[in-house]
Amino acid sequence: MPHAPILLFLHGVGGGDPDEKWREALELALTRLGYPDLSGVQVLAPKYPNGLNGVDDDEPLPKVTVRAPRGDDAERNRRNFERRRTAMEVLLGPDDRGDGLPGGDHVAPVAAELKLFSQAKNYTEVPKIRAWVLQRILKNLPPSGRLVIVGHSLGSVIAADLLRRLPPGLQVAGVVTIGSPLAHKRFHVERLRELLAEPPANLAWWVNFWSTADLVPTRRGISAAFPWVLDQRIRTSSGLHPRQAHQATTYLQSDTVAMAIGRGLFGSRSTEIAIVENGLDIQLDYPETIALLALRYAHLTMNELEGDTRDRYTDALRQIQAITVEQIRAR
């Protein structure tokens, strides 16, 4: 499938989901939303639980292949990334980074020492385990194509570590992390926060999902560590036991999570040919009239702005305007 989109699922601690229940949960959510199933997608789900427990081989750490842009290129990369991030925010809803679990910053280091999280500790502290896991994943990847990465729990840490080491021909159409502990430096490797201070040049967007019922993220997103990531809170796991709330299948059953993954893999849910119209010739009701007046005011405000602020404002306004007009046309 040379032209098929590629889905890379990176599992967390434990046995690596040998029955691939994560896939079943995701396909059900995708088809419920009107997206295709995964039969036309190149699905890669490498297993590495044994390696997380210990390895004998001394694999070299994969080289960095994606260098951080500098100067004008860095500014252009950040502006383009923020435009795509805004589009995802319009699709999914406003950023929600959460307030955090009281005492969460003190809980994370203690939790990392528990046997339950020994595999995570091994990945972040034992260089040859980290190198072995990254090499195993990279050996499964094709040299080129459009890639969507889904990282669960420790898999989100591995995804962040992997981004700058991917084959140059792979374009990352999106990263979705679920139940991630990346807000805590205890789960970082090799100055990860510093090295990902800006979005990598090969990345279109990154959306992180967290839940108040899941204790691993300690009730907050990861934008405290990576401010350019879009954080989304899901509420479908409300009332569940924390262990069940943390499961990949719980997150992947969420319409919002599936919508983000579907957008990365398939783009729009519509299979119809879009007809371009030059104008909007529809009788408006009162709320719609107010909405268009608000857009007009927003355009006037835009004219008063300058520099990067104007560029970011313009990108956001363009997305809001497109959504508003489409909703009026749909009526």
pLDDT at 317: 76
- What span, in angstroms and rounded, lies between the C-alpha atoms of 64 and 68? 10
- What span, in angstroms and rounded, lies between the C-alpha atoms of 301 and 299? 5
> What is the Rg, in whole angstroms, of the alpha carbon atoms belonging to the chain?
21
pLDDT at 325: 65
Instruction: Say if residues 123 and 189 touch (Cβ distance below 8 Å).
Output: yes
CA atoms 167, 201, 100, 150: torsion sign: negative
- What span, in angstroms and rounded, lies between the C-alpha atoms of 236 and 258? 13
On the CB side of 92, how many CA atoms lie within 13 Å of its CA? 31
Give residue 309's Cα distance to chain centre. Answer: 25
- What span, in angstroms and rounded, lies between the C-alpha atoms of 88 and 94? 9
Q: Which parts of the chain sit beneath pLDDT 50?
A: 1, 271-280
* DSSP alpha helix (H) spans, the chain: 21-33, 49-53, 71-92, 104-112, 118-125, 127-139, 154-162, 192-195, 242-246, 248-252, 255-266, 286-302, 307-330
pLDDT at 106: 54
pLDDT at 271: 42
Residue with tokens 């204790």: 215
pLDDT (tens digit, 9 = 90+) per residue, 298-319? 878 888 888 767 767 776 777 7
Parallel/antiparallel/unpaired status of strands 230-233 and 42-44: unpaired
pLDDT at 112: 54
User: Would the pTM count as exceeding 0.75?
Assistant: yes
pLDDT at 114: 60
In the sheet that holds 42-44, the strands lie side by side as: 42-44, 6-10, 144-152, 169-178, 206-210, 230-233
CA atoms 208, 214, 220, 224: torsion sign: negative
pLDDT at 284: 66
pLDDT at 251: 97
- What span, in angstroms and rounded, lies between the C-alpha atoms of 222 and 229? 7
